[in-house]
Structure formats: structure tokens, C-alpha cells
Amino acid sequence: SPSINLTAPVPKVGVAVFLLKGKKLLLGRRLSAIGNRTFALPGGHLEFGESFEECAAREVKEETGLDIGNIEYLTVTNNVLLKEVKPIHIVCIFMRAMVADPQQQPLNVEPEKCDGWDWYDWDDLPKPLFGPLENMVQSGFNPFPAS
């Protein structure tokens, strides 16, 4: 019989969105088995048949109520998070977008999964950051358009 590997969960695909407003970006403290109480971008699992842009818009709407535009692919990173309560391997697709209406403020639509959203300055990020975002920051990647 084929051996079933019960320890190594399959890598997951996540889409995370740098929602930019001037020099600020939207972050929320996660309340989740994955990255609990760390500050993360809005985003989530890529669902069957979705484009990266469709997933970005859906997850941001589901989590913050915000409508986004100018959605563009930035980069993809490979994150093996062994310090998590349950080790997890996430291929993270990072997208960039702008709020459709700069006056629209985020709502905490899923309070069981997020402690609340707020705009943070890229040069003054809260800690601790969620693994994939921390790896991204450590790598020196700059998500902002070249001014």
C-alpha cells in the first residue's frame, strides 16, 4: 500500500495584497492558527479557477469590505514556516492594488480571523510581522511604485 506521509502537509498557495495609500499600506493582526497575532496583509487561499487578480479582489472585499483597482502582480515567494504551531509551507503570490475610493475605510468583516485593519507607514511597520511578509521585508523588497 502506498505510504501516506502524515507529517508533511502539501504546500498551499496564498495571495497577499499590498493595498497602498500614499506611503501607507493596510495591515491587520491575524487571529488564526497560521501566524496568530502577527501583522499581515489582507489575502488568502487561491481558490479553484481564480486568477491572481480575482483572488486579490475577492479576499480584500471579504476581509475589509474595500473595493480595489489597479491590481498588478508583484512577485512570488516560497515560505516554509516551521515555527508555526503547525508547520506550513506557503507559496505566496504578492499583488499590489489601490483602493477604488480613497475615502473608503476598511471594515473588520471577519473579526474572528482579524483583530482589525489599519494603515501603516512602510518605514514604521508594526511587529511581529506574519512570516511571508517578514521574509519579504528582510529581503529588501519595496512594494511601492517607483515615484
Ligand X SMILES: CC(C)CCOP(=O)(O)OP(=O)(O)O
Tell me which residues touch Mg ion (CB under 5 A): 44-45, 59, 63
Rule CB under 6 A: say whether 135 interacts with ligand X. no
* Smallest gap from residue 23 Cβ to ligand X (A): 24
DSSP labels, the chain: -PPP-SS-PPPEEEEEEEEEETTEEEEEEE-SSSSTT-EE-SEEEPPTT--HHHHHHHHHHHHH---EEEEEEEEEEEEEE-SSSS-EEEEEEEEEEEESSTTPPP--S-TTTEEEEEEEETTS--SSBPHHHHHHHHTT---SPP-
Our CB check for Mg ion shows the closer of 41 and 124 to be: 41
* Smallest gap from residue 15 Cβ to Mg ion (A): 9
Our CB check for Mg ion shows the closer of 4 and 85 to be: 85
Rule CB under 6 A: say whether 89 interacts with ligand X. no
Footprint of ligand X on 13-72 (CB under 6 A): 14, 16, 32, 34, 43-45, 59
Query: Looking at beta carbons, which residue is closest to Mg ion?
Result: 44
**Among Mg ion, ligand X, none, what does residue 14 contact (CB within 5–8 Å per kind)?**
ligand X
| Residue 100 CB coordination number (10 Å) | 12
* Smallest gap from residue 140 Cβ to ligand X (A): 21
Rule CB under 6 A: say whether 12 interacts with ligand X. yes
Q: What CA–CA distance (Å, rounded) separates 68 from 76?
A: 20
- Provide the binding-site residues for ligand X, judged by CB under 6 A: 12, 14, 16, 32, 34, 43-45, 59, 90, 92
